[in-house]
Amino acid sequence: MNNTADVIIIGAGVIGSATAYYLTRKGHSVIVLEKSPFLGDGGSSRNGGGVRQSGRDPRELPLAMYGVKHLWPGLSEELGMDVEYCQSGNLRLGKTEEHLAILRGLTDRAAACGLGVSMIDAAQARTICPYLSEEVIGASWCPTDGHANPMLVTLAYYRKARANGARFITGQRVQAIQKVRGQARRVVCGDETFEGDTIVLAAGYGSRAIAAGLGIDLPMNTLLMEVLVTEEQPPMFSQMLGTAMADFYGHQSKHGSFVFGGSSGFEAHNRDDGRPVNHSITAPCICRGVMGYFPALAGTKIVRTWAGWLDEMADHIPAIGPVAEVPGLLVGCGFSGHGFGIAPAVGTVLADLAAGDTPPLEVSAFRYDRFKAKL
């Protein structure tokens, strides 16, 4: 079997799979190496499915807005699979004046970047979503936000890239990237070696150890987040929801289940058994958060809960782009819990960079070496 391709991608999550797809669309050969036996087994299948522009770091907004404008609307058609993209807006809810002050700050910063997002009062919020608690006194509203099914998006990119000739190999743990004549070229996995003109490192938190082998540190930690899924309900509301205090976030999926994510507040001190395991205190805490804003859901049954790790970068935005010390290496990792919504845009940018083309967006704000000591 030929172990050489134009581009080797490390990580078959939504970022790696999207990059692989956009590269095959340009006619490049691609090999994707995934350490898990399963595709998209990290954050890509363990996230709330938000396709949000509001509430983002201003540095991330151009990627989010580009994706919502140019990539998400046609994605199902392009990939030949319904990825359940629903553009019904994002409501971020507040119950106190302090909450509204937080929402106003987020809204002003995003509006200054050109995003159509505004503050609305309780009556307007209830017109958009009639099930809100009486305690809600206001919200921020971004009508062009939405949600999609992250598992389907990841697998749809995989399926289409594979149909275009990309070679995906699961259960293939990368040990090292090696340089040949000063250029990143060889990817070593046990007794197998792969070679590419460009290497894309998109392995979530696992990227840190692989980059360390080249003397590059990507300062990130893992952070466990947990999600619960309800039984199917008749369609109630289609918006993406969040709160000023981040008590919970979520949406109702196409088939009727609500998917709500949240935290207990003890995430930084969770016991780590090497697997992303739910903690007994978290899902009940999310339930209390949800019921505080949607009392009508108190009788809705939870059918499953799950947990996943974020790859939390020191400043909460990813590292994207070329590595100056290692020509031929591109990174795309550290998405810090909000990578799904920008994945099509990031995949487009990484594919352009890997192919030597000019990407539609400039990504220097995401340089891997932006981290400086505080003094």
Partner 1 sequence: MSATDWNDRICTLGPFEPAPGDGFIVCRCVEITQGDVRRAVHDGMFTLHEVRRLLRCGMGLCQGQICGRLVRGIVAKELGVSPTALEEVTARAPMRPVEMRVFGSEEAGA
- Could you list the residues that contact partner 1 (CB under 8 A)? 1, 37-41, 45, 151-152, 155, 158-159, 162, 167-172, 229-232, 255, 278, 283-285, 287-288, 290-291, 297-306
Q: Give min distance, CB of 158 to partner 1, in A.
A: 7
Q: Give min distance, CB of 155 to partner 1, in A.
A: 5
Q: Give min distance, CB of 118 to partner 1, in A.
A: 31
Nearer Cβ to partner 1 (42/55): 42
Q: Give min distance, CB of 79 to partner 1, in A.
A: 12
Backbone angles phi, psi at 117, to 5 degrees: -140, 140
Nearer Cβ to partner 1 (101/296): 296
Q: Is 145 helix (H, G, I), strand (E, B) or coil?
A: coil
Nearer Cβ to partner 1 (72/260): 260
Nearer Cβ to partner 1 (291/365): 291
Handedness of CA 75, 359, 203, 24 (dihedral sign): positive
Nearer Cβ to partner 1 (141/168): 168
Q: How far is CA 226 from CA 46, 262, 305, in A?
A: 8, 6, 7
Q: For the stretch 124-134, what's the b/e string if a residue is b when 16 or more beta carbons lie within 10 angstroms of its beta carbon? A: ebbebbeebee
Q: Give min distance, CB of 182 to partner 1, in A.
A: 31
Contact (Cβ atoms closer than 8 angstroms) between residue 237 and residue 250: no
Q: Give min distance, CB of 228 to partner 1, in A.
A: 8
Nearer Cβ to partner 1 (6/232): 232
Contact (Cβ atoms closer than 8 angstroms) between residue 92 and residue 242: yes
Handedness of CA 113, 117, 118, 121 (dihedral sign): negative
Nearer Cβ to partner 1 (85/368): 85
Q: Give min distance, CB of 354 to partner 1, in A.
A: 20
Task: Give the 3-state DSSP-derived string for 166-233, with helices as H, strands as E and coil as C.
Answer: CEEECCCCCCEEEEECCEEEEEEECCEEEEEEEEEECCCCHHHHHHHCCCCCCCEEEEEEEEEEEEEC
With a CB cutoff of 8 Å and minimum separation 6, the contacts of 2 are: none
Q: Give min distance, CB of 220 to partner 1, in A.
A: 25
Nearer Cβ to partner 1 (16/89): 16
**Closest residue by Cα to residue 52 from 142, 126, 153, 155:** 142
d(CA 320, CA 346) in angstroms, rounded, equals: 8
**Closest residue by Cα to residue 144 from 243, 235, 72, 252:** 72
